[in-house]
């Protein structure tokens, strides 16, 4: 089945989405009014809102509220749940008390899009079943401020949470922060089986092995994996206290996914199109987005007359298959002519034609100061010296032997020395020495670096605007200049470390001196890179005012034991 038909099938899948209009003067709805009530002669068992509550896609007058209900073993028929929304945590100032339906075809999840809310206002909500007396925790959410209603807006930016890699302390820290909203850039789950990627010495001790045990391939598998992730106390707390705006990345389907396939999908694992449909259906079940077409999750949010937050899908809807250097290797090295022809192909796309047209319209028509792209993958250039790239790729491929690491350190020292001499305008530098530093190639072809022509087109549309890229995917923290092919600065990138997935420390080790040397070498040799943290887990707090965009890279101390203490390792301000 071709990609267009796959997307049409996905688009036709309709979820049961309750819609509720808030109004002043609501009263707590008793069970008698909905034709149900608790039978005191029945001892109900097993019921509850075990996955907590959550809110999504806030606007100035709307928010999506979510829960999942597990019926009691004695319940018959389709459960009817009551939703209460109020301006106070005691539910005395109610704006909603109404019955809503559980979607039994969507893993018993409940989606309620509540409208007619007041801008820049905090609301409290809960779900309850008066049949069984089950009551959810009380959730908190907040509508977006309209223009003039806020002087600052804060986004906690997160990405890459691998359940079996460690505790979700980053989510706990985000829950305790003063963020107005959480921007999740994907890899909310990982598809690997128990013992696969992310497993470490603490996985068994912490009881974090993936469920189901195998790699997830089918609808039921994805649902069980999401339920496991949503059983996490700290993730539940983050959802309970903060509204989320989400997009998917690759691991919600399979590693290094693109529109027609994925690196981690083999022929013996069934039809990829069916797998993708199942994965995306379950994503919508657990992470609802206010979209008209389930296949197209790109959307934007106007915030306080200051920010145009544009959430992109750089992964599934339009991405052509990633290039790979291995396809261009010869006995004498890389076939550079063939690689460059493919790399610079103007037809290659990471967005797809329809999304690119949509993004062009949103960027060009917006009049607010900050144009903020919610990217899955890095937009900034990570061009490193070619000889260093080849060695780094060997190490990243799992061959980090002591001899290879020693070779890496020797090479970095040589290149850093040359770069230092270049910065000092050393007249004795030879052309051959300069070439060793200036002959560069993109490190990560899975990122925007693999789609340079389309990136230039985005920069051209954003010319004259204040552009900020938010990015995840790499598990490490980055701050980069965004520059076009002519060296013009187009903006800046605030890229977050992971919630728990391992970063470069898994490759280069945890020795502080080794990690620091690696960080310094990259910042020196990669032209647009200004800062990186290669070993810690954390999030970005991105704050926006009418005059400034600020990023704080906040990191937790550990993911091996519960602690939400963070340290801010870097703060930058764009104006």
- The model's pLDDT over 252-291, given as tens digits with 9 standing for 90+, comes to 999 999 999 999 999 999 999 999 999 999 999 999 999 9
Report pLDDT digits (tens) over 281-323: 999 999 999 999 999 999 999 999 999 999 999 999 999 999 9
Residue 166 has pLDDT above 60, yes or no: yes
Q: Which of 88-97, 395-404, 434-443, 528-537 has the lowest mean pLDDT?
A: 395-404
Q: Is residue 387, in this structure, part of any structural domain at all? A: no
pLDDT, position 506: 87
SS3 state at 497: coil
* 268 shares its domain with 370: yes
What average pLDDT score do residues 393-414 get?
Answer: 84
| The token pair that represents 352 in the structure block | 């797809």
**CA pair distance 128, 244, nearest whole angstrom:** 22
Q: Is residue 515, in this structure, part of any structural domain at all? A: no
| The token pair that represents 556 in the structure block | 């937790």
On average, the pLDDT of the chain sits at 94
CATH number for the domain that contains residue 543: 3.60.21.70
31 Cβ contact list (under 8 Å, min separation 6): 37, 38, 82, 130, 131
| The token pair that represents 322 in the structure block | 């990633």
Tokens 């079996």 found at: 164
* pLDDT band at residue 130 using 50, 70 and 90 as cut-offs: confident
* pLDDT band at residue 1 using 50, 70 and 90 as cut-offs: very low
Q: Is residue 529, in this structure, part of any structural domain at all? A: no
Task: For strands 63-68 and 53-56, give the pairing.
Answer: antiparallel
pLDDT, position 78: 86
pLDDT, position 8: 57
pLDDT, position 514: 83
What average pLDDT score do residues 5-20 get?
Answer: 67
pLDDT, position 300: 98
Q: Which residues sit opposite 361 in a β-bridge?
A: none
pLDDT, position 32: 43
State the Cα angle at 155 between 152 and 160, rounded to 5°.
170
pLDDT, position 39: 61
206 Cβ contact list (under 8 Å, min separation 6): 166, 167, 560
Residue 9 has pLDDT above 90, yes or no: no
* pLDDT band at residue 40 using 50, 70 and 90 as cut-offs: low
Half-sphere exposure of 86 (CA within 13 A, CB side): 17
Asked which of 108, 143, 178 is the last residue of a domain, the reply is 143
Report pLDDT digits (tens) over 357-368: 999 999 999 999
SS3 state at 229: helix
**Alpha helix positions (H), 211-331:** 219-230, 233-241, 272-286
* pLDDT band at residue 37 using 50, 70 and 90 as cut-offs: low
For 142, 331, 522, the CA distances from 469, given in Å and listed in that order, are 24, 39, 20
* 365 shares its domain with 449: yes
Phi, psi of 330 (to 5 degrees): -125, 180
Residue 87 has pLDDT above 60, yes or no: yes
* 65 shares its domain with 136: yes
**Sign of torsion, CA 112 117 122 128?**
negative
pLDDT, position 102: 94
* pLDDT band at residue 15 using 50, 70 and 90 as cut-offs: confident
Give the number of domains in the chain: 2
533 Cβ contact list (under 8 Å, min separation 6): 476, 477, 497, 519, 553, 555, 569, 570
* 151 shares its domain with 255: yes
Task: For strands 257-258 and 261-262, give the pairing.
Answer: antiparallel
pLDDT, position 280: 96
**CA pair distance 303, 300, nearest whole angstrom:** 10
**CA pair distance 305, 302, nearest whole angstrom:** 7
pLDDT, position 5: 60
Nearest to 251 by CA among 350, 382, 159, 155: 159
Q: Is residue 472, in this structure, part of any structural domain at all? A: yes
What average pLDDT score do residues 1-11 get?
Answer: 54
Report pLDDT digits (tens) over 190-234: 999 999 999 999 999 999 999 999 999 999 999 999 999 999 999
* pLDDT band at residue 35 using 50, 70 and 90 as cut-offs: very low
State the Cα angle at 473 between 469 and 476, rounded to 5°.
90
Report pLDDT digits (tens) over 403-413: 888 898 899 99
Summary count for the chain: helices (H), strands (E): 13, 28
SS3 state at 561: coil
Percent of the chain with pLDDT over 90: 83
* pLDDT band at residue 161 using 50, 70 and 90 as cut-offs: very high
* 135 shares its domain with 163: no
pLDDT, position 13: 58
* 112 shares its domain with 216: no
**CA pair distance 376, 314, nearest whole angstrom:** 6
User: Do 269 and 221 form a contact (C-beta atoms < 8 A)?
Assistant: no
* 11 shares its domain with 54: yes
* 215 shares its domain with 233: yes
Percent of the chain with pLDDT over 70: 95
Q: Is residue 103, in this structure, part of any structural domain at all? A: yes
Asked which of 93, 112, 143 is the last residue of a domain, the reply is 143
* Structural element, H or E, at residue 535: none
pLDDT, position 523: 94
* 154 shares its domain with 293: yes
For residue 495, give the DSSP letter. E
Report pLDDT digits (tens) over 343-356: 999 999 999 999 99
Q: Is residue 464, in this structure, part of any structural domain at all? A: yes
* 295 shares its domain with 264: yes
Q: Is residue 509, in this structure, part of any structural domain at all? A: no
Return the number of other C-beta atoms located less than 10 Å from residue 11's C-beta: 14
* 454 shares its domain with 550: yes
Q: How far is Cα of residue 411 from the mean position of the Cα atoms in its chain?
A: 34
| The token pair that represents 488 in the structure block | 């013009």
* 82 shares its domain with 198: no
**Alpha helix positions (H), 248-385:** 272-286, 336-343, 353-365
Q: Which of 34-48, 99-113, 246-260, 553-567 has the lowest mean pLDDT?
A: 34-48
Phi, psi of 361 (to 5 degrees): -65, -45
**CA pair distance 290, 299, nearest whole angstrom:** 8
* Structural element, H or E, at residue 307: strand 307-311
Angle between helices 233-241 and 169-176 (to 10 degrees): 30
Report pLDDT digits (tens) over 503-515: 998 888 888 888 8
Its domain, for residue 556, covers: 147-382+443-500+537-575
What average pLDDT score do residues 38-53 get?
Answer: 85
**CA pair distance 249, 283, nearest whole angstrom:** 11
CATH number for the domain that contains residue 102: 2.60.40.380
Q: Is residue 173, in this structure, part of any structural domain at all? A: yes
* Structural element, H or E, at residue 441: strand 440-442
pLDDT, position 33: 45
| The token pair that represents 277 in the structure block | 């449909």
Asked which of 123, 143, 163 is the last residue of a domain, the reply is 143
């Amino acid at each position: 089945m071709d990609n267009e038909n796959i997307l049409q099938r996905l688009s036709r899948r309709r979820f049961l989405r309750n819609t509720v209009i808030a109004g002043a003067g609501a009263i707590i709805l008793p069970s008698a009014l909905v034709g149900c009530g608790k039978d005191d002669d029945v001892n109900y068992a097993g019921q509850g809102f075990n996955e907590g509550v959550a809110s999504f896609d806030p606007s100035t007058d709307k928010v999506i509220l979510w829960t999942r209900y597990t019926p009691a073993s004695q319940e018959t028929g389709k459960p009817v749940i009551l939703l209460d929304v109020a301006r106070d945590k005691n539910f005395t100032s109610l704006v909603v008390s109404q019955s809503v339906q559980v979607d039994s075809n969507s893993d018993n999840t409940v989606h309620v899009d509540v409208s007619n809310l007041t801008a820049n206002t905090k609301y409290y909500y809960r779900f309850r079943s008066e049949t069984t007396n089950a009551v959810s925790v009380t959730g908190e959410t907040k509508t977006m401020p309209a223009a003039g209603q806020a002087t600052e807006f804060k986004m906690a930016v997160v990405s890459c949470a691998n359940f079996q890699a460690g505790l979700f302390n980053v989510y706990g820290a985000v829950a305790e922060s003063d963020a107005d909203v959480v921007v999740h850039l994907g890899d909310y789950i990982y598809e690997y089986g128990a013992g696969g990627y992310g497993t470490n010495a603490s996985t068994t001790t912490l009881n974090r092995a993936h469920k189901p045990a195998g790699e997830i391939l089918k609808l039921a598998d994805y649902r069980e994996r999401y339920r496991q992730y949503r059983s996490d106390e700290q993730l539940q707390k983050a959802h309970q206290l903060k509204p989320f705006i989400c997009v998917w990345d690759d691991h919600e389907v399979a590693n290094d996914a693109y529109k027609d396939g994925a690196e981690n999908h083999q022929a013996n694992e069934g039809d990829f199109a069916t797998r993708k449909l199942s994965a995306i259906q379950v994503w919508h079940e657990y992470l609802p987005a206010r979209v008209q077409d389930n296949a197209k999750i790109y959307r934007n949010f106007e915030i306080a007359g200051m920010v145009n937050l544009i959430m992109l899908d750089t992964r599934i809807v339009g991405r052509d298959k990633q290039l790979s250097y291995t396809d261009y290797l010869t006995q004498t090295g890389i076939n550079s002519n063939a690689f460059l022809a493919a790399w610079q192909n103007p037809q290659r796309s990471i967005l797809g034609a329809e999304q690119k047209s949509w993004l062009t319209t949103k960027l060009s028509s917006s009049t607010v100061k900050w144009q903020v792209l919610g990217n899955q993958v890095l937009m900034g250039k990570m061009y490193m010296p070619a000889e260093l790239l080849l060695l780094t790729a060997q190490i990243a491929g799992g061959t980090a032997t002591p001899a290879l690491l020693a070779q890496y350190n020797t090479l970095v020292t040589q290149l850093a020395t040359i770069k230092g001499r270049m910065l000092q305008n050393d007249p004795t530098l030879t052309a051959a020495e300069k070439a060793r530093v200036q002959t560069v190639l993109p490190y990560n072809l899975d990122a925007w670096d693999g789609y340079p022509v389309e990136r230039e087109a985005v920069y051209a549309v954003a010319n004259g605007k204040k552009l900020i890229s938010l990015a995840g995917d790499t598990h490490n923290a980055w701050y980069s200049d965004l520059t076009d092919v002519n060296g013009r600065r187009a903006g800046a990138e605030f890229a977050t470390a992971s919630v728990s997935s391992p970063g470069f420390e898994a490759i280069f080790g945890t020795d502080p001196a080794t990690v620091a040397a690696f960080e310094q070498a990259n910042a020196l040799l990669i032209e647009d890179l200004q800062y990186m943290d290669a070993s810690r887990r954390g999030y970005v707090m991105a704050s926006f005012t009418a005059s400034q965009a600020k990023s704080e890279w906040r990191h937790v101390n550990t993911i091996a034991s519960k602690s939400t203490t963070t340290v801010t390792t870097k703060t930058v301000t764009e104006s």
